[in-house]
Structure 1
Amino acid sequence: MMRTVMTALAIAAAAVPASGQSMSERLNDYPTEARADYVFGCMAVNGQSRTVLSQCACSIDVVASILPYEKYVEAEAVLSLQQVGGEQVAMFKSAVAPRTMVVDLRRAQAEAEMLCF
């Protein structure tokens, strides 16, 4: 587990932060509540064991190392809006910018799954 996290951090450290933040700032820009919410959701899907808790905690750490919190919030908002019906949210289902935000989040989650599960 620790080796996996260290590998994820090494990969993330190789990337140049787009926002101008240091890697430490970028890894810590997710509020505790957001991290806990992610872990609770992850555990609801994957099981309620100690092993899954560790894997889900690793997963949010990897996501945070790849995607700045601001981008994470934007992508989560788009995903929430896409689940609502009606004409008012139709633009979030077809527009390119929201799709890009979601794709970035899905890529980060896929990387996290490969490294943590």
Structure 2
Amino acid sequence: MGLPAQAQAVNDYPTNARVEYVFACMATNGQNREMIDRCSCAIDRIAEVLPYDDYINAETVLRMRQTTGERSGMFRGMAQLTETVAVLRRAEAEAEIICF
């Protein structure tokens, strides 16, 4: 019984989110077959470490930090949001070591 639930937890990223990540990764690292494999590996590793909701939260914080003005300041200063981003960064670093 635990195995299907565990598989579901690892596979909670929608296909379009995985594809978006792979496209962005390939734009950065190269547009070839090897990068498809490496970038796909990376998002799979991130998905093993970070639930999709946490991934979306961290991505939102990162995007909001790129904006200017008062409203974006709260995304830079809150410790909880900084930790959310740090967890994503650790997952990305682990994925880079394994996949690249």
Equivalent residue, structure 2, for 1:87: 70
Equivalent residue, structure 1, for 2:22: 39
Within the candidate set 46, 49, 52, 2:32 is matched to: 49
The DSSP-based 3-state class of the residue aligned with 2:13 is coil
Structure 1 runs (4+) deviating above 4 angstroms are: none
Unaligned stretches of 5+ in structure 2? none
TM-aligned CA deviation for residue 64 of structure 1: 0.1
Task: Tell me, yes or no, if structure 1 residue 61 matches structure 2 residue 80.
Answer: no
Task: Tell me, yes or no, if structure 1 residue 104 matches structure 2 residue 87.
Answer: yes
The DSSP-based 3-state class of the residue aligned with 1:85 is coil
The DSSP-based 3-state class of the residue aligned with 1:29 is coil
Determine which structure has the larger helix proportion and give its number. Answer: 2
Q: CA RMSD in A?
A: 1.1
The DSSP-based 3-state class of the residue aligned with 1:76 is helix
TM-score (norm 1): 0.80
TM-aligned CA deviation for residue 23 of structure 1: 2.4
TM-score (norm 2): 0.94
Q: Percent identity, aligned pairs only? A: 47
Task: Tell me, yes or no, if structure 1 residue 77 matches structure 2 residue 60.
Answer: yes
The AA in structure 2 aligned to 1:58 is C
C-alpha distance in structure 2 between counterparts of 1:51 and 1:28, whole Å:
23
Residues 82-107 of structure 1 show CA distances to partners (whole Å, capped at 9, x for unaligned) of 00000011010111011001000000
Unaligned stretches of 5+ in structure 1? 1-20
